[in-house]
Amino acid sequence: MRLNNLGIVHTKIDRPDPADVDHLAKFGVATIHEAMGRVGLMRPYIRPVWKGAKLCGPAVTVLLQPGDNWMFHVAAEQVQEGDVIVAGCTTESEDGFFGDLLATSLMSRGCKGLVIDGGVRDVEDLEAMGFPVFSRAINAKGTVKATLGSVNIPVVAANALVNPGDVVVADVDGVVVVPRELVGAVADAAQKREDNEAAKRDQFRDGVLGLDIYKMREPLAAAGLEYVED
């Protein structure tokens, strides 16, 4: 009888339609999060390790054990072109699980980046390679290869549940997780939101006030806001 979910690799995962992933990739994390109804974000302590890093792709998930990066090598074999890796850990850990060697291996498999609720190192090289990484820490502390975790099971990373095949989008504003079956609908909703924002941006540029665009004068007065001249 299996007592835990460690030591498992799911080799078949469902991925969303690549056209929907491409559409979603056009939008920023803030827009996607709003379009979903203000949900789906990882905790904001996950930050890009180099300026300008961005990623969007279906997740191959990894559950790590603290101080151990064995499962990244197992995960590399499961990566398909366009995937990203999302790594959680069985407990909080800021060890440097990942660096340029693993990035080189993942890139050769078509991987588009990493989100990890842990630490990474070799950041100068990751930037030079153009491999986008989002992590909770930059840490030179090395790890071993000795303890089983799992690949392609549901993982929690920075308070977000990520199922294999969910699409993860990350940019300087944060990391958002879009459930696989919602990717097309969320991309459409994000497009609508962006069109709407474009119209508002034009008005703001022309000097129109939010007070008038959003018709806020009446509700502000009803709430008791007073303008005092003296």
* Among 135, 143, 152, 163, interactor with ligand OAA by CB under 6 A: 143
Tell me, by CB under 6 A, how many residues bind ligand OAA.
Answer: 9
Q: Does residue 100 touch ligand OAA according to CB under 6 A?
A: yes
Task: Determine whether the annotation assigns residue 68 to a binding site.
Answer: no
Token duo for residue 99: 């660096």
Residue 98 interacting entry, from ligand OAA, Mg ion, none, C-beta within 5 to 8 Å by type: ligand OAA
Q: What minimum distance in Å lies between the beta carbon of 101 and Mg ion? A: 5
Task: Determine whether the annotation assigns residue 207 to a binding site.
Answer: no
The DSSP bridge partners found for residue 96 are 119
Q: Are the beta carbons of 64 and 91 closer than 8 angstroms?
A: no
Residue closer to Mg ion (CB basis): 146 or 199: 146
Residue 114 interacting entry, from ligand OAA, Mg ion, none, C-beta within 5 to 8 Å by type: none
Backbone angles phi, psi at 113, to 5 degrees: 145, 180
Tell me, by CB under 5 A, how many residues bind Mg ion.
Answer: 2
CA distance 187 to 144: 40
The DSSP bridge partners found for residue 155 are 162
Q: Interacting stretch for Mg ion, rule CB under 5 A, among 7-15, 76-84, 122-130, 140-148? A: 122-130
Q: At what angle do helices 100-108 and 70-78 cross, to 10 degrees?
A: 20
Q: Could you tell me how far CA 218 lies from the centroid of its own chain?
A: 40
Counts of helices then strands in the chain (DSSP H, E) = 8, 11
Residue 69 interacting entry, from Mg ion, ligand OAA, none, C-beta within 5 to 8 Å by type: ligand OAA
Q: Does residue 122 touch Mg ion according to CB under 5 A?
A: yes
The residues that touch ligand OAA, with contacts defined as CB under 6 A, are 69, 98-102, 121-122, 143
